A and B are shown apart, each in its own frame.
Chain A
Amino acid sequence: MKNREITLHINGEEYRLNVAVNRTLLDVLRDELGMTETKYGCGTGECGACTVLVEGKEVNSCLTLAATMDGKRITTVAGRADFGRLDHIQQAFVDEAAIQCGYCTPGMVMKTASLLAKNPDPSEAEIRHALEGNICRCTGYEKIVKAVKKAAATMPGRAAAVEPCKEVVQ
């Protein structure tokens, strides 16, 4: 097949699409749906600017074929804000000035969301290990690490957080 009818659930909304099979999820989000909050950096899985959550797991949308995503739940950085109100992770990035040009920020926020869902209280080493797939050309990472710590500290309902999972970083 050269085209496929798919349904995507993006940030809680359902989209029925007819996509060319050689389009990446990133292309479909940006070019077909106009959701330009997810960024294109390298196209080869190295920079993390295109990070979105698929069924709650972070993936590089530049390496994902849209046609294979039928029925999947996708979250982009815009899906974290509630009617324009930033969530605690986005707010932590603003508060800690962890943004300069902002190009890496959508990916950083999504990666942070996935990290904190698994590990609500990460150590600095765990934060740095988690962020290794997200490149920032501006900040030098210090402020980003601080923002992730702040996001962890300000996570709503911290006590009810799911399955702490501590990977040993060596």
Chain B
Amino acid sequence: MSSRILPDFDLLLPQSVAEAVELLSTHRDRITVMAGGTDVMVAMKFAQSPAQLMSLENVPGLAYVLFDPEKGLRIGAKATVADLLAQAEVKRHYRALWHAAQTFATGQVRNTATVLGNLLRASPAGDCSCAIYAIGGVVVLQGSSGRREVDIDDFWLSYGVTARRPDELAVELILPPPAAGSRSAFKRMTRVSEDLAKLNVAVRLEMSGNTCIDARLAMGCVAPTPLRLTRTETLLKGRELTAEVLQRVAASVQWEISPIDDKRSTAEYRKQVSGVLLKRAIQEACGAA
């Protein structure tokens, strides 16, 4: 295996969602689904040898990003990270996701990589994944026995593993409609901009004046999957966001995360900076009201 040569595989090019689901239910675990391919192609060059690769290239009607003020944001399985950036409503109402998309990889990768592919890769470093975890939402999966929705809170099971069953295709992601007083922010740290994050964080706050009514905090690269900081969230809820509260929030993070040493950073460093990064994200969310 090399960065040059792909293994042998059979290419499947379904023409519809129904055909894709049919193929998945017939061949089950033998199929690797490919949307943009920015993860799958690299994996095939170095590690994976799927018997069958199913490209979504010819499946029509999945490349949408649709905003409805009542229903929220619907992102189809073929919508790319660049497609998100092209939508003014994403920037206005889903700030954390917009910022994650903006700092994501490179222009070339953003034109190809899909938002849902980022969720389905189930990497703890996924930038869109981190932002979406904080915002909340549901992944819509279509299988041979119909459609079901999985809450993003229940979507990642372990490193690289999601709640998707082998016969299911992810068809879309639905984010909640923007609520008054709701704001979000995303921050990440990288070695160089085209590299994956060494740490990322996203927050969604429901504010009333300077008081935090509700909070969802998500952090990446600190556990086998993206992580919600549920204990730290309780330190924010119902509190006025004073300097002391933010200090307590920042200090609490290191007790909730379990980072490791890897080629991008060390566990020690991640523990040291996680609280600071979270505090800055909270401040940015409040400032960007």
Q: Which residues of A contact B (CB under 8 A)?
A: 1-2, 4, 21-24, 27, 40, 42-46, 48, 51, 57-60, 62-65, 67-68, 111, 114-115, 130, 132-134, 167, 170
Contact = CB atoms under 8 A, between A and B. Distances in A.
A42 B3 contact: yes
18 contacts: A1-B13, A2-B8, A2-B11, A21-B10, A43-B4, A45-B41, A45-B105, A57-B111, A59-B108, A59-B111, A65-B11, A65-B41, A67-B11, A68-B13, A111-B108, A133-B108, A133-B109, A167-B102
User: Interface of chain B, helix or strand or loop or mixed?
Assistant: mixed
Contact of B37 (A65, A132, A170): A65
B203 to A, nearest CB: 16
Nearest to B40: A63
Contacts of A58: 107-108, 111
B111 A64 contact: no
B15 to A, nearest CB: 12
A43 B99 contact: no
A113 to B, nearest CB: 12
A1 B10 contact: yes
B6 A23 contact: yes
Interface string B104-118: 011111011000000
Given A43-B2, A133-B194, A167-B102, A60 B57 contact: no
A46 B108 CA distance: 9
B85 interface: yes
A119 B108 CA distance: 16
Would you call the interface of chain A mostly helix, strand, loop, or mixed?
A: mixed
Given A45-B42, A132-B193, A133-B194, A22 B9 contact: yes
B39 to A, nearest CB: 10
Contacts of A2: 8, 10-11
A163 to B, nearest CB: 10
A170 B2 CA distance: 36
A76 B111 CA distance: 17
B7 interface: yes
Contacts of B108: 45, 48, 51, 58-60, 111, 133
Contacts of B112: 59-60, 63-64
A5 to B, nearest CB: 12
Interface in B31-72: 34, 37-38, 41-42, 45, 53, 55, 57
Contacts of B55: 65, 67-68
Interface in B66-123: 82, 85, 99, 102-103, 105-109, 111-112
Contacts of B9: 21-22
Contacts of A23: 6
A51 B53 CA distance: 24
A22 B7 contact: yes
